[in-house]
């Protein structure tokens, strides 16, 4: 009889979002009059439609696919040149970051890339993650057998180094000890779930640590477009030495509304080499060639349109819309006496639950008393306990209404 992959059996269920859904459903069943009135600030999905210039590029590309003279089949392994060149010219060169088109790998999104990148590293590599954390980094390593067992009691995996992100360190993890034996460090800035950002000096310190200790940084910059402070780095390649220690992952989901359209990319520099001089770029190319057949041509054309003058202006407008929601939530809750952070260079607001209530107690209280839904911080890791995540991705009305209701709590 065949057996399932035992690594998958170690994974606890998708506790966080399934529990949230179950609680909302139970509440709705018990209070049908109030169920329609729930304000949701829990979702991590955008709500604004694709911008007109992007939709036009999609339509044009569909027409090309309908004509034998311009039809396209399989895309090149790394993605189309027009998109990889636009990426380099817009996301890196203007920021002084040295990234070349043959180091850019176009994909169907940052979730798959951030889950898959671990495959090119040794099976016994030790990973380090921030706590709280986007769950994909850990779960993908669990599936690959790189972790020990999960403890229900502590909410932590063995053989994983957790780096607490707390009020004390401004929700930016401290550098691990020199003898921590870490090979892969996952960082995400601007951060999901805390909304924290990293300044250039601190990011440089991570790059220096990685180069010194022979570690690689997987840098998830999915929220880079939300940075408003001109002093903050958008790419890890703005730091000296990052080409020899970092991979960067980007997404078109949060900056241009591609959550349902699917497009992202990963940069693996030629200078990133392992202990034996193996070029990780070539391994990622090999993996890409074997396991992936490319993002759709029409979607890559849509991605190119994001970088057009009109595309940049339209998507910039959408981001400003979400960030006005963030400002309303952040300032409204602060004025009401809550301790809140994030929400300035990121679409997430990180709220400290009042009077020592747990994240889940606060969730229940908000749902039952004022019908507002957010995400319990403890669902992202033990250091998230006592915090609550609110997102700016809803409508203007939902942001305004949520603030009024939470104030009335
Ligand atoms: C939303 C998000 C992504 C983007 O995922 P896609 O697969 O590109 O939609 C990546 N990383 C983090 C931390 C995210 O929150």
Whichever domain contains 320, its CATH number is 3.90.1150.10
Q: Indicate whether 41 belongs to any domain.
A: yes
CATH number, domain with residue 243: 3.40.640.10
Indicate whether 343 and 369 sit together in one domain.
Answer: yes
Q: Indicate whether 316 belongs to any domain.
A: yes
Indicate whether 199 and 266 sit together in one domain.
Answer: yes
User: What does the alpha-carbon distance between residue 399 and residue 393 come to, in Å, rounded to a whole number?
Assistant: 9
Nearest Cα residue to atom 10 of ligand 1: 110
Q: Indicate whether 89 belongs to any domain.
A: yes
Distance 137 CA to ligand 1 centre (A): 11
CA separation (Å) from 391 to 44, 188, 246, 303, 398? 7, 17, 28, 24, 11
Q: Which of 308, 334, 355 is the last residue of a domain?
A: 308
Q: Indicate whether 168 belongs to any domain.
A: yes
Indicate whether 243 and 340 sit together in one domain.
Answer: no
Q: Which of 286, 308, 330 is the last residue of a domain?
A: 308
Residues 137, 117 contacting (CB under 8 angstroms): no
- Mean pLDDT over 210-231 rounds to 98
- Mean pLDDT over 239-266 rounds to 98
Nearest to 304, CA basis, from 64, 52, 93, 80? 80
Indicate whether 147 and 272 sit together in one domain.
Answer: yes
Indicate whether 165 and 269 sit together in one domain.
Answer: yes
Q: Which of 252, 279, 308 is the last residue of a domain?
A: 308
Residue 109 CB–ligand 1 contact under 6 Å: yes
Least confident of 41-45, 305-309, 395-399: 41-45
Cα angle: 6, vertex 378, 134; to 5 degrees = 60
Q: Indicate whether 1 belongs to any domain.
A: no
Q: Which helix (H) or strand (E) holds 107?
A: strand 104-107
Q: Indicate whether 77 belongs to any domain.
A: yes
Indicate whether 109 and 256 sit together in one domain.
Answer: yes
Collapse the DSSP code of 342 into the 3-class scheme (helix H, G, I; strand E, B; otherwise coil) and give the result: strand
Residue 254 CB–ligand 1 contact under 6 Å: yes
Nearest Cα residue to atom 15 of ligand 1: 192
Indicate whether 281 and 299 sit together in one domain.
Answer: yes
Asked whether residue 15 carries a pLDDT value surpassing 90, the answer given is no
**pLDDT tens sequence across 151-188:** 999 999 999 999 999 999 999 999 999 899 999 999 99
Indicate whether 271 and 159 sit together in one domain.
Answer: yes
Distance 138 CA to ligand 1 centre (A): 14
Residue 251 CB–ligand 1 contact under 6 Å: yes
Indicate whether 197 and 295 sit together in one domain.
Answer: yes
User: What does the alpha-carbon distance between residue 107 and residue 110 come to, in Å, rounded to a whole number?
Assistant: 8
Residue 243 CB–ligand 1 contact under 6 Å: no
User: What does the alpha-carbon distance between residue 195 and residue 380 come to, in Å, rounded to a whole number?
Assistant: 13
Distance 171 CA to ligand 1 centre (A): 19
**pLDDT tens sequence across 96-117:** 999 999 999 999 999 999 999 9
| H-type alpha helices, 157-279 | 200-213, 253-256
Q: Indicate whether 338 belongs to any domain.
A: yes
Indicate whether 92 and 181 sit together in one domain.
Answer: yes
Indicate whether 336 and 189 sit together in one domain.
Answer: no
Distance 251 CA to ligand 1 centre (A): 6
Indicate whether 170 and 83 sit together in one domain.
Answer: yes
**Ligand 1 atom having least distance to the Cα of 252:** 8
**pLDDT tens sequence across 267-296:** 999 999 999 999 999 999 999 999 999 999
Residue 288 CB–ligand 1 contact under 6 Å: no
**pLDDT tens sequence across 345-356:** 999 999 999 999
For the chain, the domain total comes to: 2
Residue 134 CB–ligand 1 contact under 6 Å: yes
DSSP secondary structure of 267-312: E--TT-B-TT--BHHHHHHHHHHHH---S-HHHHHHHHHHTSHHHH
Distance 308 CA to ligand 1 centre (A): 23
Domain that holds residue 302: 55-308
Q: Indicate the pTM of the whole model.
A: 0.97
């Amino acid at each position: 009889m065949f057996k399932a992959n035992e690594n998958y059996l170690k994974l606890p269920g998708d506790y966080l979002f399934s529990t949230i859904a179950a609680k909302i459903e139970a509440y709705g069943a018990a209070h049908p009059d109030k169920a329609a009135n729930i304000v949701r600030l829990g979702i991590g999905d955008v709500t604004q439609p694709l911008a007109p210039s992007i939709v036009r590029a999609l339509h044009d590309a569909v027409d090309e696919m309908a004509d034998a003279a311009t039809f396209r089949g399989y895309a090149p392994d790394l993605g189309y040149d027009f998109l990889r060149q636009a990426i380099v010219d817009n996301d890196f060169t203007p920021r002084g970051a040295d990234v070349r088109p043959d180091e850019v790998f176009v994909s169907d999104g940052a979730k798959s890339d951030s889950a898959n990148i671990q495959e090119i590293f040794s099976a016994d590599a030790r990973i380090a993650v921030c706590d709280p954390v986007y769950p994909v980094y850990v779960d993908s390593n669990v599936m690959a057998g790189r972790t020990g067992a999960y403890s229900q009691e502590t909410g932590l995996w063995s053989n994983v180094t957790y780096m607490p992100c707390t009020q004390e360190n401004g929700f930016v993890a401290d550098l691990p000890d020199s003898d921590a034996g870490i090979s892969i460090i996952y960082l995400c800035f601007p951060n999901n779930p805390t909304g924290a950002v990293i300044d250039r000096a601190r990011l440089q310190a991570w790059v220096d640590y990685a180069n010194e200790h022979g570690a690689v940084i997987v840098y998830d910059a999915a929220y880079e477009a939300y940075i408003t402070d001109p002093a903050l780095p958008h790419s890890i390649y703005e730091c000296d030495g990052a080409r020899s220690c970092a991979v960067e992952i980007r997404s078109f989901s949060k900056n241009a509304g591609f959550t349902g359209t699917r497009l992202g990319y990963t940069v693996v520099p030629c200078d990133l080499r392992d202990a034996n001089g193996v070029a990780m770029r070539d391994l990622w190319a090999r993996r890409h060639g074997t396991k992936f057949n490319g993002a759709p041509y029409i979607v890559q054309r849509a991605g190119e349109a994001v970088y057009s003058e009109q595309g940049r202006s339209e998507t910039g407008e959408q981001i400003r819309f979400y960030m006005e929601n963030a400002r309303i939530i952040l300032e409204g809750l602060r004025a009401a006496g809550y301790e809140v952070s994030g929400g300035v260079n990121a679409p997430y607001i990180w709220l400290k639950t009042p009077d020592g209530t747990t994240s889940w107690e606060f969730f229940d209280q908000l749902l039952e008393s004022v019908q507002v839904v957010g995400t319990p911080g403890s669902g992202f890791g033990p250091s998230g306990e006592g915090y609550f995540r609110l997102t700016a991705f809803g409508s203007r009305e939902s942001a305004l209404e949520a603030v009024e209701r939470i104030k009335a709590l």
